[in-house]
Chain A
Amino acid sequence: MQYVAGIDVGSTQAKGVILDEQGNVVGEALLDMETNMGTAAERVFALALASAGIDADAVAFTVATGYGRYRVTFGDLQVTEISCHARGAVAAFPATRTVLDIGGQDTKAIRIGPSGEVVDFAMNDKCAAGTGRFLGAASFALELPLSELGPLAMKATTPVKITTTCTVFAETEIIGHLAKGRRPEDVLMGMHQAIATRCASLVRRVGLTPEVTFTGGVSRNEAMVALLQEVLGMPLNVSPRAHFMGAIGAGLYALDNARAGRRSVRVREAIS
């Protein structure tokens, strides 16, 4: 049995998965990012291997993705997370034609063709509004952990309209609303709505085609899922593996290469 690895080195987290010959996930690991992307990648790889109960020699091929993909010294190939998220989403939900990935730092909308290939993509990678960071501002202002934001927002009755488009001013605006006596859940729902609107716009830029798969860390937020379904007017596929979608996609590209007979340089060196 041989295995392949997918490593996703993002700006906030590093993720690694080990896949078997059939493409099943047999090991996974997730770490918060440190300043050195290279060592973070090595650590998450080691943890993923441990989780799979194998060691590095058993891995035939490794694909690295994410912003730090060129820092993964043991990576055999670099593929962008656009292609990897698309691949991972289609693997989880074969009828996927649109992917929305809201990450900590950026947001992407990807349109997928009939053969599972990326046809078009649009990114919001300059402005934090419309990304997970906008919620980070809310988390800070309300002094609540990120995981509690969704459930609290769902309790809103009269959401507050948030007009600021800048994350820097979002905190001020939230505090202003709270000072005026608005309820935290209403303010929070307003924040979610602002993100949903921006993300829906990104999706429309590539063309909204069902089925839509929602990936990335923010897809674990139930309020976000509910809002996006409403704004886009259709149900969304959400995977419990959302965090790992990019790494899984990378792993699947690694599997393609392994099946084509390509071997990792590491392995070739070890054999000779």
Chain B
Amino acid sequence: MTAPYPVLEGVDARTAGQRLINQWLASLNTAHERGQPVAYVFVMGNAVEILRAFDFALVFPEINSLQTGVRKASAEFLAKAEDFGFSPDVCSYVKADVGLMLSNMQHPSGVTMPMPDLAIASSMCNVYIKWAEIWERHFGIPAFVLDLPGKRFAHWQAPAGSRQREADTRWVLGQLQDLIARCEQITGRKFDRDRLAEVETYVNEMVRLWIDILAFNRNRPAPYNSMLDGLTYMGVLNAWRGTREGVEYMRLLHREMADKVARGVGRVPNERFRLIFSGTPCYVNMRRLIELFESHGGVFPAADYLTYAAGGLDSAGIFYDPSRPLESLAEVTTLAAQFGLSNHFFSHHTLAQQAKDYLADGIVYHGIKSCRTVATSMADNREYVSTRYGLPTLYIESDLIDPRYWSDAQIKNRIDAFFEVLEQRALLANAS
């Protein structure tokens, strides 16, 4: 970890990020040719560290699906899945992936997605499991379901040394051991504990830098917009987790952000209002959604998406211990699941706390039509937070990638009205 990685030399973080993503996608095209086994994984709960130790190529079907939205090709993929027989109410990510399977794995990015040798679904989203069952039937491979025990209730604690923490960690460790046996079977290689330890040191460094980067946005003005720039950072964090390149990228990003903070440079030229974003992006209208806020001087310094869709590692509270790589993997994975990935159901206090920490003027809830993990209790959460904490909140709704659920005039209307509320509030606050 001495000289910077060649592909990242002399470029800014944005370019570096794009290059890394493109490189990763291109490598998927030739994974099987190179003799690399392929794993399908999800962003909320996977065991990438173990997979790296076996040198699996990583495919993130969620990223494949969101890319169909970003590239404005999602309508076609969704139509294929619906023509095939899937109900319109099924998760649009799943349908886009079915569309991909029905298109001979030809992805709009130009990559022919390789077929999986292993699929890992975690229990952090129940639809992951149904999705994995679809792969089982389509690709003829058995899914590996990683059951991660999350938070049981809002004030859940599992202190170190407690029986509960031990029981949950033991469960995850047992499954990771099963996974290792499965990987050995598939790849014909023996598990390399040292390689796992090495991967973990890279992850530790990436997460340490990531936590800092998340915290940089507590400054005024916020150096990046979590729901636009943050999405790219997260993409690299996921696809390059546990690699030297990933570390170099995070270092580059960290330097740039630290510099922006030092110079007081904000993402939005006239930062007027700071908002917390709860929910996922609308990938098919990603820029437009943010533009509707930025045009009013609104920026998102924080978003819960950056926690749960990046593995929740910023919430685990501890780092991997490379001297006990497997045991600490189980421990950190469990804590990340409990305090990062399964917080959707009990996020009312954490959102309010975030609003405080990031000096936010309000919270925007983005409900997703086809994602019940994100949207089911948003209205209730919003009601609780706005009543209990007196914070202005906005509720808008669209979908991850289904363009049929984006109604520009209606969404703009709600956003405009929300800023009118914020302006009024600011006026009254100044007057008193």
The answer to whether A and B touch directly, with their CB atoms under 8 angstroms apart, is: yes
Binding site for B on A (CB under 8 A): 67, 78-83, 106, 115, 117-123, 125-126, 205, 207
| B428 in contact (CB, < 8 A) | yes
Q: Which residues of B contact A67 (CB under 8 A)?
A: 409, 413
B383 adjacent to A119 (CB under 8 Å): no
With A67-B413, A126-B407 in contact, is A118–B395 under 8 Å at CB? Answer: no
CA distance A123 to B414 in the complex (A): 8
Q: If the complex has contacts A120-B386, A205-B379, A205-B383, are A82 and B413 also in contact, measured as CB distance less than 8 A?
A: yes
* Alpha-carbon separation in the docked complex, A207 to B424 (Å): 19
Our pick among A118, A122, A125, A126 for the contact of B424 (Cβ within 8 Å) is A118
A117 with B421: in contact, given A80-B413, A123-B414 (CB under 8 Å)?
A: yes
Q: Could you tell me the distance between the alpha carbons of A117 and B425 in the complex, rounded to whole angstroms?
A: 8
Known: A118-B424, A205-B379. A125 touches B417 (CB 8 A): no
Indicate the member of B383, B409, B413, B424 with the most A CB atoms within 10 Å: B413
Smallest Cβ distance from A67 to chain B, in angstroms?
5
Q: Is the CB of B413 within 8 A of A119?
A: no
Q: Are A82 and B417 in contact (CB under 8 A)?
A: yes
- The 8 Å CB contact of A118, one of B379, B387, B410, B421, is B421
Q: How far is the CB of A252 from chain B (nearest CB, A)?
A: 14
A39 to B410, CA, bound (A): 22
Nearest Cβ on chain A to B386's Cβ, whole angstroms: 7
Picked from B379, B395, B420, B428, the residue with its CB within 8 Å of the CB of A79 is B420
Q: How far is A82 from B393 in the complex, measured between Cα atoms in Å? A: 15
Alpha-carbon distance A207/B416, docked complex (angstroms): 21
> Which among B386, B387, B393, B416 is the interface contact of A80 at CB below 8 angstroms?
B416
Residues of A within 8 A of B386 (CB): 120
* B residues less than 8 Å from A205 (CB atoms): 379, 383
Q: Does B147 contact A (CB under 8 A)?
A: no
Residues of A within 8 A of B379 (CB): 205
Give chain A nearest CB distance to B382 CB in angstroms.
Answer: 9
A-chain residues with CB within 8 Å of residue B395 when the two chains form the complex = 122
Residue of B nearest to A204 (CB): B383
A115 to B413 CA separation, bound complex (whole angstroms): 23
Partner of A117, one of B383, B407, B410, B428: B428
Task: Find out whether the CB atom of B424 lies under 8 angstroms from the CB atom of A117.
Answer: yes
Q: Which residue of B lies closest to A122 (CB)?
A: B395
Question: Knowing A82-B417, A82-B420 touch, does A120 contact B393 (C-beta < 8 A)?
Answer: yes
Chain A residues within 8 Å of B393, by CB: 120
B418 to chain A, nearest CB (A): 8
Contact A80 B424 (CB under 8 A): no
Which A residues lie within 8 Å of B383 (CB)? Answer: 205
Chain B residue at smallest Cβ distance from A117: B424
Q: 1/0 per position for B312-340, CB-CB distance to A under 8 A? A: 00000000000000000000000000000
Q: Which residue of B lies closest to A119 (CB)?
A: B421
Which 6 A-B residue pairings sit nearest by Cβ, starting from the closest?
A82-B417, A80-B417, A117-B424, A125-B410, A83-B420, A80-B416
- In the assembled complex, how far is the CB of residue A238 from the closest CB belonging to chain B, in whole angstroms? 23
B397 at the A interface (CB under 8 A): yes
Rounded to whole Å, the gap between the CB of A156 and the closest CB of chain B is 32
Interface flag for B392 (CB, 8 Å): yes
A121 to B416, CA, bound (A): 12
Contact with A along B396-432 (1 / 0, CB 8 A): 0100000000010110011011001100110010000
Q: Which residue of A lies closest to B414 (CB)?
A: A123
Min Cβ gap A216→B in Å is: 15
Q: Other than A79-B420, A121-B414, A123-B413, give 5 A-B pairs with Cβ distance below 8 A.
A: A67-B409, A80-B413, A106-B410, A118-B424, A125-B407
CB-contact partner of B417 in A106, A121, A126, A207, under 8 A: A121
Determine the distance from Cα of A230 to Cα of B253 in the docked complex, in whole angstroms.
59
Which chain B residues lie closer than 8 Å to A117 at the CB level? 421, 424-425, 428
Report whether A118 and B397 are in contact in the complex, using a CB–CB cutoff of 8 Å: no
The answer for the CA separation of A207 and B383 in the assembled complex, in Å, is: 9
In the complex, which residues 49-100 of chain B have their Cβ closer than 8 Å to any Cβ of chain A? none
Query: Shortest beta-carbon distance, B204 to chain A, in Å?
Result: 43
